[in-house]
Each structure stands twice: as C-alpha cells, then as structure tokens.
Structure 1
Amino acid sequence: MAIVKPFKAIRPTKDKAFFVASRSYEEYGPEELQAVLQFNPFSFLHIINPGFKFEKHITGKERFHLVRNRYLEFLEENVFLKDKEPSFYLYQIEKGDFKSLGFFCACSVEDYRNDVIKKHEDTLHHREELFADYLYSVGFNAEPVLMTYPDNPTVDEIFQKKIQREPEYDFTTTDKVNHKLWKISYPEGIEKLQNAFNGLDALYIADGHHRSASSHLLAEQLQNENPKHTGTEPYNYFMAYLIPESQIKIYEFNRMVKDLNGLSKEEFLIRLDEHFRIEKREDGLYKPSKKHEFSMYLEGEFYLLHLRMTNYKFTDALSQLDTQILFKTILEPILNITDLRNDKRIAYGYGKHNLMQMKDRVDRGEFVVGFSLSPTTVDEIKAIANAGLTMPPKSTYIEPKLRSGLTIYEL
C-alpha cells in the first residue's frame, strides 16, 4: 500500500511563476547563471545562490542559513504564497512530441523505510548527510523525488477531467517547454487518488535517490529530537512527483575511456573476441538497435559488438543489464576500471547528440575508445529494484526534468 498525501504548497503567484521557475542549478553555465541572477530578481536561483546578493561565494552552514533568509524574503515580498487547503498538484510538461502528466504529492518516509518505495541506485552517505543538514537548516523541500507507477485508469480519468479546466499556471520557458499546473483540492478527487495508490504494492524512484535517502535521515533525526512525535509531522513525508510508467523517457549514457590499459588496438580486439562477435561498420555513426549489442568507436572506426551468449551467463536482473554487461566483460577485466563513479579514466555522455559528441571527443584525442548502449527500460529498473539490487552509476538519464520553485513543501 503506497501512501500519497496532499499538502499546502508554497507557490509563486500566478504572474510570477514564469520568472520563479528555474532549471536544476547544475544545468546552468557560469555566464547564463550570472545573467539570470542579474536580470531576473524573482528567479528561484536567488534562493539557492544567496551569495549573489553580497557578491560573495558562500558555502557550508553559512550558505544554508542564507538560503533560509532568501526564502523568507520571497514570502515576505509575496513572491510566494501558501495555499490554504491541502492539495495535489497536477503538472504537465510538453516539448515537441514529448509530454508528461504527473502530480506533486507528499510521500511517506515510512514507505521508503519499508521498501514500498523502491530504489535501484546506491547512495553516498556523506551526500545523504549533507542534504539532510541542508533540509534541517532551510526548513523546506523544493526538489521533488521523481517516482513512477503503473499506468492506472482511475488516476488517468481524474487527470483527464482536470486538464479540461483552466490551469493555475500556463507558461512556456525559453527552452520551448510548456508548463501547466492544476490544483486538485476537492475532497472527492483527493480520496479517489489516495484510494488508487492504496492499491499499489510499490512506487519506484526514477530520479532522486539521494534526496529521498536524505529525507529519511532527516526524519529520523527530527523524530529523535521531538518527545511528542506522532508520525503526522511534515518531516515524516517528502515531496515527490509521481508519473505513470508510460510517460517516463529514458536515455542512455555512453562511456568514454582514455586508454586501452596498455593494450594495442589489435590486442584489445582479440580480448573483446572472448565475449563478443565483432563487426566493423562502414556506414558512419552507428547506434545499437537492440539489447546486448554495443557500438564501439576506436581509431576512427565504428564496431558493432554482439554479446556471445555462450560465454556470458545471466544469473539475475542485474546481470542482464547492458551497463552491467559492459562493466563485467570490458571495463573491469580488460580496461581495469573497477570504480565507475570515481575513476578519472572514464567519462560519460548523454543527450540527443551524444553519439556524435562521443565520436568528436575520441577524434580530438580526449579519449581512445567510446561505447554506446541501448537505453535502459522501465521494466529493467523495476526488476532490479524488486530484487533489491543496484545499477552501475550512469545507467539512466531520465526525463522529465522538473523546474524548481513551482511547488515547495515546508518541513
């Protein structure tokens, strides 16, 4: 049984939603970030980059406290208002032929603890602690965890009826993405949504493993500090954006390696032959078209690598994942890359043109060899999560990517 709870969001006023909404901080280059901070006083970036006001780079606890201050200023200046009734927030993102329709809600830390909310990635404890400290200091959660659920006719019916109404927000950002948001605050709609999710055995984290783990860590800390803890306090929940499986878009990360671990090209190809049937491609850029095939770019040529099923055994859901196959057959045994997260010899690329970018970086001499894979599927994510396993780093790049600042959950 999955718990979803409505909440009273802190939100920008309708006339300022376009100006407040920002991409993830890491997506901005230095020049673009400076321009937004200089010319858009309503951007959510001012809250998470409070040092701009003082023309100073601020980190650590001092930054956390100033983030809290900037947030309070946005409330005091009526850039943000708090909704009067608990609501679910239906949010649609549309760009070109890609459209996603999900909703913001509060999800239960207890569900996370009890594996109703399922994970497929490892987290780093120091990052969990850092973000938990951040949440403790600022007192709000503005970065929802992206989770997915099986397509549900009842949920879809509620959503389709609601989107016929005028939205609270309707704006298009400069990257040509249209954003719409509706409130679901009427008791019947809330009850129907909660009942629909009560019937689900699990929710699956798509993006936000550290955020959910940090919320769990914070809840434990605040529970221990509160002698009157009841389990209903806001810190027992965290903000999430739930979206049906059919509307998740998953892209692959390619892998680029700086050397062949002392092997010549010929020696490397011979080592590959143990696990792969190797086919040189003569038709330029080549991207694999099915599972257990890999595209390799080496010394100006593309190769198709077909996995030899006789020499590789599938033992569980993880062993069938292409990122794991590449790791276990090439990266670890041949190229001696054992730490995919921290080894400086390997880098990752994603995006619409990542195959061309991989080729260009190899051609420029930044890397010696590149590998392209097919995207991971939702079913693979679920199978690994259900088995309690974890994927290798950089196995998925998932859309939609959500704007910050449209709904805020106070702790």
Structure 2
Amino acid sequence: MAFIAPFKGILFAPEKVKDMSKVLTPPYDVISPEEQEAFYQAHPNCVIRLILGKKTPEDNEENNPHTRSAAYYKEWQEQGVLAKDKELCFYLIATEFEALGKTHERLGLVAAVRLTPFSEGKVLPHEQTYSGVKSERLALFKKVHANFSSIFSLFPDTDGGAFEKMHQVVLEQAPDVDVIDYAGHRQRMWRITDPETQEFLGKKAGEESVYIADGHHRYETSLAFMEFLESENPGLPEDHPARYVMMYLASMADPGMIILAAHRMLAKLSDAAKAAFLEKAPEYFDITEFDAEAGREDFLAALENQTERTAIGVALTGEPLRLMVIKPGAMDKVFEGEIAPELRDLDVTVLRDLIFLKLLGLTEADMDDHDFISYDTRHREVLDKVARGEAAAGFILNATKIQHVRNVAKAGLTMPRKSTYFYPKVITGMAMKSLKADE
C-alpha cells in the first residue's frame, strides 16, 4: 500500500569527516540543552548545527537558528563535507545496543516514502498523538528544503521476509560505516544499490500500511511543507522530492525490536481524589500492598511477573506501594461497545480510561498538559520522585509487546498515546534527504 523508493542520500564524506561518531546525534526533540552544548563541542560539522541550532539574543528574521542551519548545510556541501550519493540507494542501519540485561541488534531501512494523508491508510500513526503541527519545524523546512532526521516507522512483515533479506545483507557485506555513537551503541550502515534487492525490500516494506513509531509531528510537518510548496508552485510534479519523506523502516518481525514502558507521573493529586480512587479501585482490581521502602523490589518483581492479567503499579506520596491487577472481565463490563477488544486490556488503556478518566476523574485537557502529566522509562526514578514528593503519584507499567502493536495495527486501530517507547531512538546524521527538485 505504501510507496517506498530508494533515493540519493546526502552523506558525510569520510575523507572530510574522519570520525563519524562525532557528527551523529539522537532526534532533535530528545536533546537537552546540556547535550546540545556537548554535541556542539564534539565536532564543527556535528549534525546538531542543522537540526537544533543555538539561539542568541540577537536572533531576528534574517539571522536565527533556521537561517544558520541553512547556511551550514549549504557551506558543508560546497566544502565537500556533505556529498550527494551518486546512486539511488536504500541505507540499511544496524544498531547494536544493551537493553533489559541483554545485547540486541535492530535493523532499519532508510528510504523515501511517498507522503499521503493518514486518511488514505497507507501511512498511519501507531498511537494517538498530541495535537498540532510543529510550526517551528515547518519554518526550518522552508529554509533548508531537506530531511535531516528519519521518521521511525514499522511495517508488519508478516512472513519475516524483509527482515531476513536485511539480515542477509548484514551477514554477507562489509558496512560502509561502522562507529560507536554518543550512547555507546554500535552503528553500522550499508548502501543497498542492487536493483533486485531494492525492489524486493521496497515491495515487502510497503505491501501493507506503514505505522509511524516515532516522529508523527515530523510526518505532519512534511505534509504541511509539501502543501506549502504546492501553493507556491501550482502543478508541483508528482515525482518532486518533497512528495517523499525520509523514513527508517523497521520490521515488526525483528527480534531486536525493543519496547520500553513509558511510566506516568502526576504533578498533583488532591486528598479527596486520592481517597476516592483508593475507595473505588477494589471494585475493579485485586490489590496487594508493599512497604514503600522495604518492599520496593518485591513490588517491581511482582509487577513484572504478572503476565496473566493486566497489572498497574501505583505509588502515591505517603502511601504504601500498590500492585493493582485487573479483575477478570472488569474492562469488558465497563467499556464493552466503547473500546475495541484489541485495545481494552492494554496496560495503557487500563491506566488511561479506567484509572485516569473514570476513577481519578481526569480530563482530556489534563492528558495534554505536560506540566501535569510526565513520562519516564525508568521505574525506579519514578518511585524516587514520588517518595521525595517531587511527584504526587506514579504509575508503573509493563512494556507493550510488539504482538500487541501488530494486533492493534492489523485491526486498523491506534493505541493510546505514549503506549510505547521504542529503544533506542533512531540515529540522526547517517543519511539525509534533499527536498529540492534540482538536487
């Protein structure tokens, strides 16, 4: 369904950039100010200058992070620091990393994917997102006419054929790039130029819908940029590069697909709301209490080992830790006909719809309020913040399994927001894509 094609990437030239590890970063939206400064210091050609430029008090319409990004991008191409590939390529990236006590490797195919509205069903969000296109990113697009970061997407790969083909490339060919990145992960990249391999992978990756895992706003911004160009240039050619967005496509059959849980914290919770919640919860949950300090490890182990029924770990300031295990049929009783069966028993659905909305009485506006609700993949950090009173409540989840993602996608549904945290984030700087017709 999705149209996936090779493209001529813009790459860092190895003869100009001797240490590729110094020019790579994570996506712009997970970089802290301290990390931004560290990346700036790492290398004069670090991609940070393109994706997240520093602001200055003197910034204006003519001189700002976006205009400076465009200037660096142009200058680096003129200097040969960045060079356009001479062949149409797919770029295969293998990321080796540690997670959950083991070493894993995830494969992703960087390709050009035809932009289509979500309503067409060819490219879909895998989970609900926060509203609104990032106008700041659109302003950057208008200056640079390029994709510097790949959108992380998933494709079903029902028979595992695409993953096997990518794995074959990894086993049989020497990589074009092999570095240890900023996070200590090994990053290898292969240029796939063989037409038969390209055709096979393009068809396999696009035979069903593609699901965005990370980068929903960047996709919507790409659509907005394409529409902007159409308004400026009526009759924009169908093969114009801006009609395609750079994606990192990962197979759902990849055993290296690691999903971490995004635990929740609430900044405040009234005594009345807390009391009402604790009074009503036993109607829906079997509850076990643990001492907030001495029982912490037993609490976490009990949560992890609860595989039969959905379980939520609840930490409230000044209260014992509580393991809440949903009673059989409780979600069906409350939400039958309202929430699809594929979504009903997901940890995030139980937390959002039953605990947050029904039992705590939170609103959709609360869900959108980043000052009120925050997320962290580190369960001990959440418990520490609640214990210190830095958060009023913490909710610990088991991670969503890739099979849940597959089932929800197959049913044509989207998961609640922050259902998944795919780890690690996709590397930025390995390959870039021009959005100009003359490049």
TM over 0.5: yes
Greater alpha carbon shift after TM alignment, 316-325 vs 179-188: 316-325
- Say whether the 8 Å CA contact 2:178–2:187 is kept in structure 1: yes
Of the three residues 150, 160, 176, the one matched with 2:184 is: 176
Alpha-carbon shift at residue 263 of structure 1 (Å): 2.2
1:324 is aligned to 349
Greater alpha carbon shift after TM alignment, 126-135 vs 373-382: 126-135
SS in 1 for 2:149: coil
Of the three residues 399, 405, 409, the one matched with 2:429 is: 405
In 2, the alpha carbon distance for the partners of 1:37 and 1:239 equals: 24
2:127 is aligned to 121
Aligned counterparts, 1:367-406, within 5 A: 367-387=391-411, 389-406=413-430
SS in 1 for 2:208: coil
Change (3 A) 1:275 1:47: same
Render the CA deviation track for 1:59-112: whole Å, top value 9, x for unaligned. Answer: 878432221111111112221111011100011100131211121000111375
Alpha-carbon shift at residue 215 of structure 1 (Å): 1.4
- Say whether the 8 Å CA contact 2:116–2:123 is kept in structure 1: no
In 2, the alpha carbon distance for the partners of 1:359 and 1:379 equals: 28
Change (3 A) 1:312 1:111: closer
TM (norm. structure 1) is 0.89
In 2, the alpha carbon distance for the partners of 1:368 and 1:45 equals: 36
Render the CA deviation track for 1:326-374: whole Å, top value 9, x for unaligned. Answer: 1222222333321212163332211xxx221111111111123211111
* One-letter amino acid of the structure 1 residue matched with residue 169 of structure 2: K
Q: Within the alignment, does 1:345 sit opposite 2:372 as a pair?
A: yes
In 1, the alpha carbon distance for the partners of 2:60 and 2:319 equals: 44
- Say whether the 8 Å CA contact 2:310–2:325 is kept in structure 1: yes
Of the three residues 156, 178, 185, the one matched with 1:150 is: 156
Alpha-carbon shift at residue 29 of structure 1 (Å): 3.7
1:69 is aligned to 71
Aligned counterparts, 1:107-118, within 5 A: 107-110=113-116, 112=118, 114-118=120-124
Render the CA deviation track for 1:353-408: whole Å, top value 9, x for unaligned. Answer: x2211111111111232111111223333444455544333222112312211110
Alpha-carbon shift at residue 264 of structure 1 (Å): 7.7
Of the three residues 282, 287, 297, the one matched with 2:315 is: 297
Alpha-carbon shift at residue 142 of structure 1 (Å): 1.2
* One-letter amino acid of the structure 2 residue matched with residue 143 of structure 1: S
1:190 is aligned to 198
In 1, the alpha carbon distance for the partners of 2:205 and 2:107 equals: 16
* One-letter amino acid of the structure 1 residue matched with residue 239 of structure 2: T
In 2, the alpha carbon distance for the partners of 1:193 and 1:93 equals: 19
Query: Alignment RMSD, CA only?
Result: 2.6
SS in 2 for 1:358: helix
Render the CA deviation track for 1:240-264: whole Å, top value 9, x for unaligned. Answer: 0011113321111112224443328
SS in 2 for 1:263: helix
Render the CA deviation track for 1:260-316: whole Å, top value 9, x for unaligned. Answer: 433286554212122212111354232323352111123252211111234432440
Change (3 A) 1:161 1:376: closer
Aligned counterparts, 1:11-410, within 5 A: 11-14=11-14, 15-51=18-54, 56=57, 58=59, 62-96=64-98, 97-110=103-116, 112=118, 114-124=120-130, 126-151=132-157, 152-163=159-170, 164-197=172-205, 200-245=207-252, 246=254, 247-263=256-272, 267-281=276-290, 283-285=295-297, 286-287=299-300, 288-289=303-304, 290=307, 291-298=309-316, 299=318, 301-313=320-332, 314=336, 315-316=339-340, 317-338=342-363, 339-342=366-369, 344-350=371-377, 354-387=378-411, 389-410=413-434
What residue ranges of structure 2 are gaps of 5+ in the alignment? none
In 1, the alpha carbon distance for the partners of 2:6 and 2:313 equals: 46
In 2, the alpha carbon distance for the partners of 1:51 and 1:305 equals: 45
In 1, the alpha carbon distance for the partners of 2:124 and 2:38 equals: 39
Change (3 A) 1:305 1:160: closer
Q: Across the two proteins, how many residue pairs are aligned to each other?
A: 405
In 2, the alpha carbon distance for the partners of 1:102 and 1:167 equals: 14
* One-letter amino acid of the structure 2 residue matched with residue 193 of structure 1: L
Greater alpha carbon shift after TM alignment, 293-302 vs 69-78: 293-302
In 2, the alpha carbon distance for the partners of 1:71 and 1:256 equals: 40
SS in 2 for 1:392: coil
TM (norm. structure 2) is 0.84
- Say whether the 8 Å CA contact 2:154–2:249 is kept in structure 1: yes
- Say whether the 8 Å CA contact 1:341–1:393 is kept in structure 2: no
- Say whether the 8 Å CA contact 1:145–1:205 is kept in structure 2: yes
Change (3 A) 1:58 1:253: farther
SS in 1 for 2:283: coil
In 1, the alpha carbon distance for the partners of 2:59 and 2:93 equals: 33
Change (3 A) 1:343 1:234: closer
